[in-house]
Structure 1
Amino acid sequence: MSAAMTIPTSASPADGPADRPADDIALTDQAGHLIRRAHQLAVALFHENLGRDVTPVQYAVLRALEARPGIDQVTLAAEIALDTSTTAETAVRLERKGWIVRELLARRQRALYLTPEGQALLAGLRAPMVTMQATLMNALEPGEQQELMRLLRKLLAGAVPVQEPMPEFPASD
């Protein structure tokens, strides 16, 4: 009988022994856990710097519409990695706030455009976003920041897309 294969980890003493069986990854070495914690930090910094009038998901929609005025909701959903129902609900909320207009197209589809108010909102969020990004990345050297962004893009490019929202995450843009 062979000994169990172990993998070295960067586990803290609270996580237990540094050498674990190959099928027992310390929580602090689980990519999903660290990504979740990084997401929590990013959302907290987003609200701290950009306020609570716009959510990160709404911001993504607005930025996508700024780049591609008139894009349809289905294409928009694919571009910002949201399911179509969440994208539609977000668009309705943004239209109610006066930041976008939804123009009816064929087959019940809608083209989306920023309003002047939406454009002004985005213009006012540019400097706070730069501050938020700098704060989020400040623990990393410039080369490390570029490498992190490269690796995140690579991770996401190779990921299997989620077709529907997770049940425990209701649409709360």
Structure 2
Amino acid sequence: MPETESTLNDLYEHPGHLLRRAQQISVSIFYDEMGSELTPIQYAVLRNLAAHPGTDQVSLAALTGIDTSTGATVCARLEEKGLLERKVIPTNRRQRALTITGAGEQQLEDMIPGAQRLRRRLLAPLTGPEQLQFMALLTKLVQENNEQSRAPLTPSPNSSR
């Protein structure tokens, strides 16, 4: 057995369990710091839409790393809230180009301080160098295992990811 493995008798030796717990903690801090106007997934979709205006719904879901049915539901909710608009793409009447509204842009702007506090709180147990190392390793873990996801992330052509 490699020295990095154990018998995994303790649940807290399972990386998946720790990642799930970290996600629970992250979501809890998200609502503490960013309020309940948007869910974490709605925030991610809106943030990606702001960076990629005019993107169709399927591509936006892929950029966010969520399945298309979840993407459709999230976009519908954001449209109901007046934070995004859907417009027919003339070359493909079945697709809709999505754009963030002024209210959506303002919502994201208003959430920047909360997002900064969220990051600081979540990473606070780590030293500065540990934070950088953790983010680098977490990014590597996600990127290298991307194809194992039920909704693999499809980075944009102009992205560094």
Q: Do both proteins adopt the same fold according to a TM-score greater than 0.5, normalized to the shorter chain?
A: yes
Q: Deviations over 1:13-54 (max 9, x none)?
A: xxxxxxx6x4x4421111000001100000000000111110
Q: Percent identity?
A: 40
Deviation at 1:107, TM superposition (A): 4.7
TM-score normalized by the length of structure 2: 0.85
2:137 counterpart letter in structure 1 = L
- The runs of 5 or more residues in structure 2 that have no matched partner are 153-161
TM-score by length of 1: 0.80
Q: Does 1:158 align with 2:144?
A: yes
1:26/1:111 Cα in 2 relative to 1: closer, same or farther (>3 Å)? same
SS at match of 2:87: strand
Q: In the alignment, which residue of structure 2 is the partner of 1:85?
A: 69
1:120 pairs with 106, 127, 130, which one?
Answer: 106
Counterpart secondary structure, 2:66: coil
Name the Cα RMSD after superposition. 1.9
The higher radius of gyration belongs to: 1
Structure 1 runs, 4 residues or longer, greater than 4 Å off: 5-9
- 1:76 aligned partner: 60
DSSP 3-state at the match of 1:28: helix
Instruction: Name the structure, 1 or 2, with higher relative contact order (CA <8 Å, separation 6+).
Output: 2
Aligned length, in residue pairs: 148
Letter in 2 for 1:95: E
More deviation, 40-49/148-157: 148-157
1:94-139 Cα shifts (integer Å, max 9, x gaps): 0000000011221511111110000000000001110111001000
Q: Which amino acid aligns with 1:138?
A: A
